[in-house]
Amino acid sequence: MELRRLGESDLKISALSLGTMTFGEQNSEAEAHAQLDLAVSRGVNFIDSAEMYPVPPKAETQGRTESYIGSWLRHQQRDKLIIATKIAGPSRGFAWIRNGPRVNRQHLEAAIDGSLKRLQTDYIDLYQIHWPDRYVPMFGATSYDVSQEHDTVPIAEQLDALADQVKAGKVRYIGLSNETPWGVIEFARCSEKAGLPRIVSVQNAYHLMNRNFESGLAEACHHAKVGLLAYSPLAFGHLSGKYIADQQAKGRITLFSNFGQRYAKPNVPVATKEYMRIAHEAGLSIAQMALAFVRTRWFTSSVILGATSLNQLRENLDSMEVSLSDEVLEKIDSVHRIYPNPAP
């Protein structure tokens, strides 16, 4: 497994990593441990979680994912693994998390202490702000609506509170998720101005159906020396091709109502069929082609894999051996020009 430096940190993370948001909802504790064992046996050293997991988020399951990881992690050689988790921001309205989460000193300390306890560890390698404390358009929304702005914790204040957690040894490095180019640059500017810890990563959606990262965020992250942790590389299963064969195929899209609405767009199945054709002509599965594409972009630090079965995870891990020819990449770009970002 290839290891890549994450931003300007000392973290060397695997090019493929394991996402865990199904643990505790679609996957039992035993199944979660089996996935973790398989991933690590194949060279994965980066495990990503969040305090709000599993999904879909519910009060009765919140934190269960971290607990499943923790019951596994206590039996592992901790310094060989890189564990990442996240604090929830206010935009999703999760009232059951600290009566409404914010990214301020009080909430950060409580969130980190809660994650440490559930994970059964005394430090978190990468601590991320799951989505901004401020308003930003997310999860399919593409236009900034100034009327949606609300009171927010200043970025400098968020960084100062995170700096205390780094000094206390609870957190090694910090990162962002679901961020914008302005957010990345403002975090970098504030940390440089005040001598506070720098962000080293941003975890955003990036896949064949959503290549928006390639414009403003790629430029911002390049100059801020921030690595991309690419989530949803298979577009919630669409890039496995299973929903082309059966629109009611088992998956998060069909199991949970009103889930993954950003993928319910008219050009998603059309583009999927084109990518399936390209993969078939190249002798690849569409999933392996899609994962290889994300992994080989110059700005990608790691591709976060998500699976509900060991067979799915094995196929995803096997994509590490896939290389895409210039001809395949040109065919992919030709589809992208016709159907640009059908699921932003």
Instruction: Give CA–CA dist 242/19, Å, rounded.
Output: 20
Element (H, E) at 337: helix 326-338
Q: How far is it, in rounded angstroms, from Cα 12 to Cα 216?
A: 26
SS3 305: strand
Kindly compute the dihedral angle of the four CA atoms of residues 115, 120, 124, 128, in this order, to the nearest 10 degrees: -30
Bridge partners of 129, per DSSP, are 87, 176
Handedness of CA 25, 28, 32, 35 (dihedral sign): negative
Quick check: 201 and 229 in contact, CB under 8 A? yes
- Fill in the DSSP letter of residue 93: -
CA dist., res. 230 & res. 210, Å (int): 11
Active site residue 135: no
Name residue 23's beta-bridge partners: 27
Distance of CA 324 to the CA centre of its chain: 23
End-to-end CA distance of the chain: 30
The strand pair at 46-48 and 171-177 is best described as: unpaired
Closest by alpha carbon to 126, among 301, 332, 337, 247?
301
Q: Are 100 and 92 in contact (CB under 8 A)?
A: no
Q: In whole angstroms, what is the distance from residue 51 CA to residue 251 CA?
A: 22
List 53, 173, 206, 263, catalytic entry? 53
CA–CA separation, 23 vs 52, rounded Å?
12
**Residue 148: other Cβ atoms inside 10 A:** 12
Q: Which residues are catalytic?
A: 53
